[in-house]
Amino acid sequence: MITVLVRVTHGPEALAATLSALVPAVAEGLVGDAVILCERQDSALAMVADAAGATLVVADGAAWAEGAKAARRDWLLCLDDGDIPQEGWIRAVDRFVSLAGPQQSMARLCRRAGLLRAWAEAMGRRFAGTPIRAGDLVHRRILIHHGKPRAPVRLAATIERDPVFH
C-alpha cells in the first residue's frame, strides 16, 4: 500500500477531481491513505479532506516533506491537485512497490506535456539534479531525511492534468 500526497494550489474542485480519480486504487488496495498539503487554513479544503478520510497538513510552501511526516506508508505518490492518473497506473505502481526495495528510492510516472514544458523540465533536471515533483513515487525516507534519491525509474504509466485546472 502507498500514501498519496496531494499538493493544493487550485482549490477544492481540483482536489476533488484528483481524489475521485484515486478511488479505483483504494478499491484495489493500493492506496491506503492520503495527505492533503496546503499553505493556509481553508474550510472548503478541510471539508473535502474530511469527506475523503484524508489528513490535511497546513505548511508554508506545502512541502512534500511535511506530508511525508503525516503519511502512514513508506511509499508516497506525489500529486498536484488536478492531476489525474491514467489507465494502467495502478498496476505499474503496485508492481514497482512490490519489487523495488527502499534502496531504489524513486520512480516517476510520465506526464504528457507540450514541447516547451518538456524542454523546461529536462533543463531543470540537468541543472538541479533530481528534484521531487508531482508524479513521483518516492520512499518516505528520502523526503523526511532530505536524502538524494537515485535516478528515477520511469514507470509505464501517465498522469494528465484535468483540462479545467491547467
- Report the alpha-carbon angle 130-161-26, nearest 5: 85
Q: Helix or strand or coil: residue 54? A: coil
The answer to whether residues 138 and 78 touch, using CB atoms and an 8 Å cutoff, is yes
Kindly tell me if the per-residue pLDDT of 121 is higher than 70: no
- pLDDT per residue over 55-104, tens digit each? 999 988 768 999 999 999 999 999 999 999 999 999 999 999 999 877 88
The answer to whether residues 82 and 164 touch, using CB atoms and an 8 Å cutoff, is yes
Residue 132 corresponds to which cell in the numbers above? 521531487
Kindly tell me if the per-residue pLDDT of 120 is higher than 90: no
Residue 166: pLDDT band (50, 70, 90) is: confident
Concatenated DSSP letters for 81-124? TTEEEPTTHHHHHHHHHHH--TTT-EEEEEE---HHHHHHHHHH
Q: CA of 161: how far to CAs of 5, 31, 122, 153, in Å? A: 16, 20, 19, 21
Which CATH superfamily does the domain covering 2-165 fall into?
Answer: Spore Coat Polysaccharide Biosynthesis Protein SpsA; Chain A (3.90.550.10)
Q: CA of 82: how far to CAs of 67, 102, 113, in Å? A: 18, 28, 15
pTM of the model: 0.89
Once rounded to an integer, what is the mean pLDDT over residues 132-158?
Answer: 90
Determine the pLDDT at residue 156: 93
Residue 128: pLDDT band (50, 70, 90) is: very low
Interatomic CA distance for residues 119 and 123, integer angstroms = 6
